[in-house]
Structure 1
Amino acid sequence: MATPDPRDHDVQARLTRWRTRADAALAAALDGVEGTEPRLLAAMRHAVLLGGKRMRPLLAYAAGHACGASEEALDAPAAAVELVHAYSLVHDDLPAMDDDALRRGQPTVHVAFDEATAILTGDALQALAFSVLAQSALPDARRVAMLAELATASGAAGMCGGQAFDLAATGAGSITLDSLERLHALKTGALLRAAVRLGAIAAGADAATRRALDDFADALGLAFQIRDDLLDVESNSATLGKTAGKDAAQDKATFPALIGLDASRARLRTLAQHMDDALAGCGGDTAPLAALGSRAIERDH
């Protein structure tokens, strides 16, 4: 993928501003939770506000921007998709799932609080995500479309289904490349694609633009997961902010384990070109999307 010029201060400044908006929208959503048991609210804030790449809200802003939406129209979908992502991480870290003690350089929710609180925290964050979308000021038809999109992407036909495939594949021996790609298209890719789609829906994008954005998002989702798999092998816990080397220790199905490190890197290069080609079919300013695509491939955590 053609790397955006690092001197392009306008793109980087825009991404920084969107991250600030996303953080503010998330904080406002949590501040608006009333009558909640204090320990639960503290755990929700721990799960959401202690950092993270904010890739999903940034994709929502970038896709909506490319299609002509205002930043105000994108605040709710950006916050909602990140709340679902945060809930998924809380549950993914549980002893019954990946059993991890470290997330974003901090103790995971079930470690910082307790397992029961972590389960409730994930449930509450998921509910809050849909509440944020439902209460947004967007036209009714667009709100309903976004609610349906996020529900599909986070449920059995998306992220939860992908996690189930991942659990079934762990320690099961051989898996085909097609099956591994399908697994991650659901587990990781579905919510990344939803972030892009939410931005496009908020903007009222036409069908052709949405198809091109889907092609971009599909390539980005797979690239994001391959990079994650490579980092688990090549990086360390301090850099990642989570436990490195767990994929091999748990006999997880990963791209490096299946096709090797060199082939995984080659696949990343192919996916980068696919992202470039897809964005060429979009109108509007796609430079922020291109920058996020490069970030997904080149990140070190």
Structure 2
Amino acid sequence: MSEQVKSFIANNLPVVDAHLIHAIDNQDIVETLKKSMIYSLEAGGKRVRPMLLLAVLEEFGTPLEKGLDVACALEYIHTYSLIHDDLPAMDNDDLRRGKPTNHVVFGEATAILAGDALLTEAFRLIAASSDYSAEQKVELLQLLAESAGALGMVGGQLMDMEAEGKRVELEHLQTIHANKTGALLRFSILAGALLANADQRELQALTRYAEALGVLFQIQDDILDVTADSDQLGKTAGKDEAANKSTYPSLLTLEGALKERTQYHEQAIGALQTIEKADGLLKSFADYITFREN
């Protein structure tokens, strides 16, 4: 991780983490449900999506406070998706971010409801925010619904489940992960661009950057699944191979996946070059996502 990214995360992660918890802890939520929601939020994580949103604001000279509610809403949805992914009916995992998964601690029913509550809280937080105009709220809520729902993450998750035990073509694998993994990453960039009042040329470049990042994130996830251990990852390593899932290394070999990673990294940087931002924070985040170790 570059010093630039490390410093940016060190400065802003505590602010995001505090807001994540405060927005829930400050409400009259049934105590068991609140504990379950906060348990998964406090498990930590890289917070890549909210950090990317704030990084766009930083690059465009927009106060980071303007993005805080959307950044936290985004992390609520990401955390809900992890709670549900870990359930016995889905990936059936007992470890997440180095801690027992939510359903192991609170039971399946409470874990499901905690995920449901985080999902809906994301939309309430944006709708209730005093930091956005009515027009911005409509745009943000529509984009978030598309990114998180059947047209994005949820649809991609089902496609991924249906592909288990099958050898799929590379193009289909890319479609799966453009939805399952890439949609929320894309939202983080585009929401930042919306709040920063990016012009059409900048928006097009950031869209290309976001799409490349989505693929990069998944390629590196697949590489780490076969090269890292569970302690390093904070979750169970080797699960893709055990489930006989098509991945970039399984389709392309590890060497081929590394080459594909390089290609998409170059695409991300190339998109930034078109708007003269290839030497700043967004470039450093592309490097971080490409070469992260967990």
Give the TM-score normalised by structure 2.
0.96
Q: 2:25 maps to what in 1?
A: 31
Question: Equivalent pairs: percent with the same residue?
Answer: 41
Q: 1:185 maps to what in 2?
A: 178
Residues 17-26 or 239-248, more deviating: 17-26
Deviations 1:34-81 (A, max 9, x none): 1x2211111100111221000000010011222332111010111111
For residue 255 of structure 1, the aligned residue among 248, 260, 265 is 248
Question: Does the aligned pair in 2 maintain the 1:233–1:245 contact within 8 Å?
Answer: yes
Shift of 1:154: 0.2
Shift of 1:14: 2.5
For residue 49 of structure 1, the aligned residue among 42, 58, 77 is 42
Aligned residue identity for 1:207: Q
For residue 51 of structure 2, the aligned residue among 52, 58, 69 is 58
Indicate yes or no: 2:262 matched with 1:282.
Answer: no
Deviations 1:134-170 (A, max 9, x none): 1222111111111111110000000000001001100
Deviations 1:6-46 (A, max 9, x none): 4x55x532332122221122122122231x22111111001
Aligned residue identity for 1:141: E
Give the TM-score normalised by structure 1.
0.94
Indicate yes or no: 2:11 matched with 1:21.
Answer: no
Shift of 1:264: 0.2
Aligned residue identity for 2:114: T
Q: Structure 1 284/277 Cα, relative in aligned 2: closer, same or farther at 3 Å?
A: closer
Q: 1:166 maps to what in 2?
A: 160
Aligned residue identity for 1:261: L
For residue 226 of structure 1, the aligned residue among 201, 219, 231 is 219
Indicate yes or no: 2:105 matched with 1:75.
Answer: no
Aligned residue identity for 2:287: S
For residue 140 of structure 2, the aligned residue among 141, 146, 171 is 146
Aligned residue identity for 2:271: A
Shift of 1:178: 0.4
In the alignment of these two chains, the number of paired residues is 293
Higher relative contact order (CA 8 A, sep 6+): 1
Aligned residue identity for 1:229: D
Indicate yes or no: 2:121 matched with 1:128.
Answer: yes
Instruction: Work out the CA distance in 1 between the residues paired with 2:179 and 2:230.
Output: 26
Instruction: Work out the CA distance in 2 between the residues paired with 1:129 and 1:32.
Output: 15
Question: Does the aligned pair in 2 maintain the 1:66–1:283 contact within 8 Å?
Answer: no
Residues 222-231 or 12-21, more deviating: 12-21
Question: Does the aligned pair in 2 maintain the 1:68–1:284 contact within 8 Å?
Answer: no
Instruction: Work out the CA distance in 2 between the residues paired with 1:28 and 1:58.
Output: 18
Q: Structure 1 24/282 Cα, relative in aligned 2: closer, same or farther at 3 Å?
A: farther
Instruction: Work out the CA distance in 2 between the residues paired with 1:203 and 1:77.
Output: 13
Deviations 1:88-143 (A, max 9, x none): 00001111110000000000000111000110011000011111111222111111
Indicate yes or no: 2:124 matched with 1:105.
Answer: no
Q: Structure 1 284/174 Cα, relative in aligned 2: closer, same or farther at 3 Å?
A: closer
Question: Does the aligned pair in 2 maintain the 1:51–1:104 contact within 8 Å?
Answer: yes
Deviations 1:219-262 (A, max 9, x none): 11101001001111111111100000110111112111111100
Indicate yes or no: 2:195 matched with 1:202.
Answer: yes
Unaligned runs of 5+ in 1: none
Indicate yes or no: 2:292 matched with 1:295.
Answer: no
